[in-house]
Structure 1
Amino acid sequence: MGAELIPMAFTTGWGSGINAYAVVLVLGLADKIFNLSQIPNALARTDVLIGAGVLFVVEMLADKIPYVDSVWDSVHTVVRPAVGATIGYLIGHDTASLDAAVGAATGGVTALISHGIKAGLRAAVNTSPEPASNVLVSTTEDVTVTGVTALAIAHPWLAAAIALVFLVLGAFLVYKLAGRIRRYKRRYDAWGERVGIAVPSDRRAPDTTADPRRPSAGSTEPLPRGERHEWQEQHERFERPFDQDS
């Protein structure tokens, strides 16, 4: 188990960040049917499998509806890393306490990163007006997580390599789609205000970190005589070379 701990925890952590309930179901059913020694017995308990199955169906539906999928992702910001850390802990628990700690850390951190990438990609997908892209992306995620997690049972290092490739590719796509994600965030905030799950912009607390004596952008109000602030001196130092050139 020692040599397989890191790749197994990494792969299940990656999968948990995308669909934690699919990971629990795949591992639990595999252990239930084949009685595999590398899978923690706790995942094969009937109550765990039933709970994971019900939540998997709920996620499968919620994940395909624009905006609802982002609300679901927000709720699971804590759930998915916790599941990843728990599975990693259980994988290493049978060998030694240090293995359990390493497994929990690997699974939890990987799940958190994977979840963040998924949420970012979903934000970009939600900028498209049609719902078909949500269904396609969600189905692809479910199939990929299920396949890679199943592969990890027999070939943990190969599965971990595939998970790493998907993790890097996802991070690259989030970086390239950052502009669309920002546009989606504005639309999502406006939608949240309409349905009452977000604070309206005109009721948000003012920025208390700003200098109250500094005029707002576009303001023509002159400064009080004798008032000089650090930000004003920095502005003058920046403008002075251009004045000299002219």
Structure 2
Amino acid sequence: MLELLTGSGLAMAAGLNAYVPLLALGLLSRFTDAVELPAGWDWLEGDIALVVLAVLLAVEVVADKIPVVDSVNDVLQTVVRPASGGLVLAAGAASQTPAVTDPATLEGSAWVAVVLGVLLALGTHTVKSVARPAVNLTTAGAGAPVVSTAEDVSSVGLVLVSLLLPVLIGALVVVLVVLLVMAVRRRVGRVTRP
């Protein structure tokens, strides 16, 4: 069960920033004993993957701080973040971490992990992409760098909590679902008003 929570937290982090959890898994697996990736995922700790992920992370961090560019980036990331969420849930749920020493919950059903990761990352991404234009409008763009930095820090925090204290992720999943329902209701309310 903890491995599912670990993967879920990583997927939600991918909904905020697609590259933070992937890069974290790769770096932690390569340079520490904190994460041991399962067989077949060793490509994530390779030189090419780490360099590409670091460059993509740098581009995303900069693009997400610029008003208007951040909204365009969110549209482009609508495919990337959920895909990353599927990857990190599948990899994270099958990895050994400080909290998970015998990952077995999703053994033999990796496609379930990928689908769940896609859905969790898409939910987080949807909440983010609905809220960001409102922040930009109400602050005349001045809030974009602040909110973006908070999202980046939250993504890193989610990765750390997922790997070290995955029990807390269950509560965060509930919060995500509530925020998503509220965002959808607000959007539907705007469309149905005359």
Residue 151 of structure 1 aligns with which residue? 161
Would you say the 8 A contact 1:121–1:173 is kept in 2?
A: no
Instruction: Encode CA deviations 1:168-215: one digit per residue, 9 max, x unaligned.
Output: 464366368659x98xxxxxxxxxxxxxxxxxxxxxxxxxxxxxxxxx
Structure index of larger Rg: 1
The alignment-based identity, stated in percent, is 32
SS at match of 1:116: helix
Specify whether residues 169 and 26 from structure 1 end up closer, same or farther in structure 2 by C-alpha distance, changes over 3 A only.
farther
Specify whether residues 69 and 177 from structure 1 end up closer, same or farther in structure 2 by C-alpha distance, changes over 3 A only.
farther
Instruction: Encode CA deviations 1:14-57: one digit per residue, 9 max, x unaligned.
Output: 11111011111222221122134554433222211111111111
Residue 227 of structure 1 aligns with which residue? none
SS at match of 1:101: helix
Residue 81 of structure 1 aligns with which residue? 82
Relative contact order higher in (CA < 8 Å, ≥ 6 apart): 2
CA distance in 2, matches of 1:39, 1:27: 8
Q: How many pairs does the alignment contain? A: 177
Specify whether residues 169 and 124 from structure 1 end up closer, same or farther in structure 2 by C-alpha distance, changes over 3 A only.
farther
Residue 176 of structure 2 aligns with which residue? 167
Mind listing any 5+ residue stretches in structure 1 that lack a counterpart? 183-246
Deviation, 1:63, is: 0.5
Would you say the 8 A contact 2:123–2:180 is kept in 1?
A: no
Residue 141 of structure 2 aligns with which residue? 131
TM-score (norm 1): 0.63
The one-letter amino acid of 1:10's match is S
Instruction: Encode CA deviations 1:102-155: one digit per residue, 9 max, x unaligned.
Output: 211221110111111110011211212533211110000000110120121122
The one-letter amino acid of 2:157's match is G
CA distance in 2, matches of 1:65, 1:27: 27
Q: Give the 5 Å matches for 1:61-210.
A: 61-92=62-93, 96-98=107-109, 100-158=110-168, 160-161=169-170, 163-164=172-173, 166-168=175-177, 170-171=179-180, 174=183, 178=187
Q: Give the 5 Å matches for 1:211-226.
A: none
Larger deviation, residues 128-137 vs 88-97? 88-97
Would you say the 8 A contact 2:29–2:45 is kept in 1?
A: yes
SS at match of 1:120: helix
Residue 101 of structure 2 aligns with which residue? none
Residue 25 of structure 2 aligns with which residue? 27
